[in-house]
Amino acid sequence: MPGPLSHIKVLEMTLAIQGPAAGVYLRDMGADVIKVEPPLGDASRYSRGINNDLPLEAPGSQFVSMNRGKKSVCLDAHTPLGLEAVKAMLKEADIFLSNYRAPALEKMGLDYESVRSLNPKLIYATASGFGPIGPDKNKPMLDGAAIARGGLASVTGMRGDGPIIPGAMIADGAGGMQLSLGIVTALAAREHTGLGQWVQTSALGAQLSIQSWELCHVWMTGKQLKRSGAHYTNVYAPYGIYETADGGHFLLAVAMTNEAWDAFWVFADNPIEAINPTWDTPSKRFGAGATEEDAMLIQEKMRTAFKNRTTAEWEEFLATQHEMIYQRIQNYDEVRTDAQILANSYVETIEVKNIGETSVVGNLISFSGTPASIKGPPPDLGADTESVLIELGFTDEEIKSLIDHADSERRRELAKRS
């Protein structure tokens, strides 16, 4: 059965994470996503990461995760024929998606006004680091820079220590999600207006959005939040991560009933703590009326409690407490085999060239009538150049010229780097 966007064609000129992430979300929804790559390809094809003993011919994990299921057209858009090919694709597309910086697009003649003149119905969607307006609109960005500027790093880390970077590319990932939301919203608007429009998002704005409560709280109260290590920064409560006797860890958020709270302290061999008036209602256990000193005291008692029993003992007990919000901390290998995750197809398996079978994060949105799904592995560089250009009416000679030029440029660049 076709996906919800199976009637949509996307021309993508992106790199790294934020732009490609938006494209892979659209591809999972069924859109035909054509990624136009320069002669060397998206640099993330060669991003090795750490602990990487895979073959040198294997695509980078960043590229695999953000470009699965897409088509690849490899050409030099800075040449007249290459630009002609891009413009021909734009005339047939519903969406142009890019996270190139604006000056780069302008230099190629792919700024908004130029593209709109080719196809007034096209959605022109761009993602930047710090937003499309202002003195830093063209400033280069990596994920951590947006996190630093937007304040998230300031509340992340241990008490009394400096800020730290989160363990995942939060700003880029959220930016891709927001851009894809903007795109489908613009498609809905086009149903009424008949026209496309310019959709713009940024990594900075995206990571602000995921801190909406925390930022609003600080601005309303006039008081800064403190780094709180293994505990949530905006409540004074038991909420936090605790280590067990054998080195496991649990996130315990809140006991939603007094019965669950009582059972916890009985199991922890400290039943008297259950009647502590500071925490004797669910709202109090989520921070209502508590002070920082109260929170630090109960957290220390809970650290002691968790340290007195093994991970297996805690897991067996907590599984009986259906009104206790908790979760054992899992590593990435455990995530891959988690029954709940697999049941929802949040992780799926694909076959990747020079690697073999590997797991990837799948589509996360369920549709009852037009299901979305992973559409396959990432493309080889230029795998679809010929077929896409034939469909657009380019001659064999023109296609050969584009492919030969890209191959020549790639060899020249690689020789310079060797």
The structural domains of the chain, ordered by start, are 9-210+365-417 (3.40.50.10540)
Residue 135, judged by CB atoms within 10 A of its CB (0-12, 13-18, 19+), counts as exposed
Average pLDDT value for the chain: 96
- How big is the chain by its Cα radius of gyration, in Å? 25
Reading the block at residue 217, the tokens are 């709280």
Which residues have C-beta within 8 Å of that of residue 155, sequence separation ≥ 6? 163, 214, 225, 226, 227, 228, 233
pLDDT at 1 over 90: no
pLDDT at 48 over 90: no
Can you give the pTM of this predicted structure? 0.94
Alpha helices in 97-252 (DSSP H): 102-107, 112-118, 143-149, 170-193, 203-209, 212-221
pLDDT at 418 over 80: no
Provide the percentage of residues in the chain whose pLDDT is more than 70.
100
Asked whether the beta carbons of 185 and 26 are under 8 A apart, the reply is no
pLDDT level of residue 52 (50, 70, 90 thresholds): confident
Burial 348-366 (b: 16+ CB within 10 A, else e): eebebeebeebebebbeee
| Residue with tokens 């290459």, as numbered in its chain | 82
- Alpha-carbon distance of 76 to 85, in angstroms, equals 10
pLDDT at 402 over 90: yes
pLDDT score of 417: 81
pLDDT level of residue 351 (50, 70, 90 thresholds): very high
Q: Residue range 201-226: average pLDDT?
A: 97
Reading the block at residue 226, the tokens are 């403190």
pLDDT score of 148: 97
DSSP conformational letter for 231: B
pLDDT at 296 over 80: yes
- Alpha-carbon distance of 76 to 65, in angstroms, equals 25
What confidence tens digit (pLDDT) does each residue in 298-324 have?
Answer: 999 999 999 999 999 999 999 999 999
CA angle, residues 287, 290, 292, in degrees to nearest 5: 100
pLDDT score of 24: 98
φ/ψ (deg, to 5) at 332: -65, -30
Nearest to 250 by CA among 312, 342, 185: 312
Amino acid at the residue 196: G
pLDDT at 414 over 90: no
H or E segment and range at residue 264? helix 258-267
Q: Residue range 273-290: average pLDDT?
A: 94
